[in-house]
A and B are shown apart, each in its own frame.
Chain A
């Protein structure tokens, strides 16, 4: 199965700053079949990005995804207070679908 490794484990930033989250796959992810989710405490994950770079419905354009092959990035251009959360990547190019362990974006 494809193992996804996210880095850093925790990102400490201030509102207004830029966040760059990394997701690295143990093997190439077919057709950039990679998604990103946001999860806040006590809530279910919410889809942000699919197809490595396509924003899901209703997701603000400060969220962007990029990458291909084994290296993918989620960028939040300017952090808003509601963006402090845990972010997971997920590959769906091969079965079983797998998730990264998550990156926590916390207020500095």
Chain B
């Protein structure tokens, strides 16, 4: 069974930093692109960032470009999101999501499955 478990969320002040982690199991992690998707409280879903299986291709939403960094460690079956210069509008549940299998899934494709999410609150 595919499992994705996020951690690292919490309360941080504006301008602060946080590093999220996602531990993957139940599939060959190194063969799949991975994603971060967020959901502000009571709001819709927003794709944040994607990374290809070998980290060759990395993409960010304009809203986080230059502040967030996605990375992965295939030896540890783990995905990360380093978040710097955090703003109030970054407050959200952050989900780690596995990409579909296919040559363009690092950029396009659906998300399946998703982890349970970790809450990031940016507030003074």
Q: Is the CB of A90 within 8 A of B110?
A: yes
CB < 8 Å A-B pair total: 54
- The verdict on A44 contacting B47 (CB below 8 Å), with A35-B110, A93-B108 known, is no
What 1/0 mask marks residues of chain A from 26 to 47 whose CB sits below 8 Å from any chain B CB?
A: 0000000101010000011111
Within 8 A of B (CB), among A17-66: 33, 35, 37, 43-47, 50, 56
Residues of A within 8 A of B15 (CB): none
B103 close to A (CB within 8 Å):
no
Q: Is the CB of A47 within 8 A of B108?
A: no
Q: Is the CB of B114 within 8 A of A46?
A: yes
- The verdict on A47 contacting B111 (CB below 8 Å), with A88-B45, A99-B44 known, is yes
Total contacting residues, chain A, CB less than 8 A: 23
Complex Cα–Cα for A44 and B111 (A): 11
Residues of A within 8 A of B110 (CB): 35, 47, 50, 90, 92
* The 10 A-B residue pairs with the shortest CB-CB distance in the complex, in nearest-first order: A44-B114, A47-B112, A35-B110, A99-B45, A92-B108, A101-B44, A50-B110, A97-B47, A92-B109, A95-B107
Within 8 A of A (CB), among B75-124: 95, 100, 107-117
Complex Cα–Cα for A46 and B110 (A): 11
Chain A interfacial positions (CB closer than 8 Å to B): 33, 35, 37, 43-47, 50, 56, 88, 90, 92-102
B32 close to A (CB within 8 Å):
no
Chain B interfacial positions (CB closer than 8 Å to A): 44-47, 59, 61-62, 95, 100, 107-117
Complex Cα–Cα for A102 and B46 (A): 12
Residues of A within 8 A of B112 (CB): 47, 50, 56
Complex Cα–Cα for A90 and B46 (A): 10
Which of B108, B113, B114 has the largest number of chain A CB atoms within 10 A?
Answer: B108
